[in-house]
A and B are shown apart, each in its own frame.
Chain A
Amino acid sequence: MAQPKLRFRISQSPVIRYGLAVLSVSVALGGALLIERLQLRNIALFLFAIAVAAWYGGTGAALLALLLSCMSFAYFFVEPSHTFYISRADIPYFILFALFAWLVSWFSTVRRRVEADLLQAHDKLKIEVSERSSLLNLTHDTIFVRDMSDSIRYWNRGAEELYGWTPEQAIGKSSHELLRTVFPSPLDDIQAEFLRTGRWEGELKHTRADGTEVVVSSRWSLRRDEHERPVAVLETNNDISVRKRREQEIESLNQELAKRSTELEAINKELEAFAYSVSHDLRAPLRHIAGFTELLHKKASTLVDEKSNHYIGLILDSAKRMGNLIDDLLTFSRIGRTETQKTQVSLAQLVREVLIEVRQDSEGRNISWKIGALPDFYGDRSMLRLVLVNLISNAIKFTRTRAQAEIEIGCADGNKDSLVVFVRDNGVGFDMKYVGKLFGVFQRLHESAAFEGTGIGLATVQRIIHRHGGKVWAEGAVDNGATFYISAPKSQGQLWRP
Chain B
Amino acid sequence: METMNKLGRILMVEDDPKDVELTLIALQDYNLANEVVVTRDGERALDYLYCRGEYKTRPSDNPAVLLLDLKLPKVDGLEVLKQIKSDEKLRMIPVVVLTSSKEEKDMVASYKLGVNAYVVKPVDFHEFVNAIKELGVFWAVINQPPPGSVRK
Tell me, rounded to whole Å, the shortest Cβ–Cβ distance linking A444 to chain B. Answer: 21
A interface majority secondary structure = helix
Quick one: given A279-B101, A338-B104, are A288 and B19 in contact (CB under 8 Å)? Answer: yes
Task: Given A280-B71, A284-B16, check contact A290 B101 (CB 8 Å).
Answer: no
User: Is the beta-carbon distance between A290 and B124 smaller than 8 angstroms?
Assistant: yes
Which chain A residues lie closer than 8 Å to B70 at the CB level? 280
Q: Is the interface of B mostly helix, strand, loop or mixed?
A: loop
Q: How far is the CB of A41 from chain B (nearest CB, A)?
A: 125
Chain B CB within 10 A, most for which of A291, A293, A327:
A291
**Alpha-carbon gap, A329 to B45, bound state (A):** 34
Contact A276 B101 (CB under 8 A): yes
Count the B residues whose beta carbon is within 8 Å of the partner chain — how many?
A: 20
Contact B103 A291 (CB under 8 A): no
Residue of B nearest to A330 (CB): B102
Residue of A nearest to B19 (CB): A284
Give A316's nearest chain B residue, CB to CB: B125
Residues of B within 8 A of A334 (CB): 104
Using Cβ atoms and an 8 Å threshold, which residues of chain B touch A320? 123-124
Encode B96-114 as 1/0 by CB contact (under 8 A) with A.
Answer: 0001111110000000000
**Choice from A283, A294, A295, A319 contacting B100 with Cβ under 8 Å:** A283
- Per-residue 0/1 for A303-341: is the Cβ within 8 Å of any B Cβ (1 yes, 0 no)? 000000000000000011001001100100010001000
With A280-B71, A295-B25, A323-B123 as known contacts, state yes or no: A288 contacts B99, CB within 8 Å: no
Contact of A280 (CB < 8 Å), options: B22, B101, B123, B128: B101
A-B CB pair tally, cutoff 8 Å? 58
Residues of A in contact with B, size category: 20 to 34
A291: chain B residues at CB < 8 Å are: 18, 22, 125, 128
Q: Is B126 among interface residues, defined by CB-CB distance under 8 A?
A: yes
- Could you tell me if B121 and A287 are in contact, using CB atoms closer than 8 angstroms? yes
CA distance A420 to B119 in the complex (A): 38
Determine the distance from Cα of A326 to Cα of B18 in the docked complex, in whole angstroms: 20
Partner of A323, one of B16, B101, B103, B124: B124
Interface pair B22/A287, CB less than 8 Å apart: yes
- Distance (whole angstroms) from the CB of A316 to the closest CB of chain B: 8
A284-B19, A287-B123, A338-B104 given. 11 additional CB < 8 A pairs? A276-B103, A279-B103, A280-B103, A281-B100, A283-B123, A284-B18, A287-B22, A287-B125, A291-B125, A292-B18, A320-B124
Give 26 A-B contacts (CB < 8 Å), ordered by A residue.
A276-B101, A276-B103, A279-B102, A279-B103, A280-B70, A280-B99, A280-B101, A280-B103, A281-B71, A283-B123, A284-B16, A284-B18, A284-B19, A286-B123, A287-B123, A288-B18, A290-B123, A290-B125, A291-B18, A291-B22, A294-B125, A320-B123, A327-B102, A330-B102, A334-B104, A338-B104
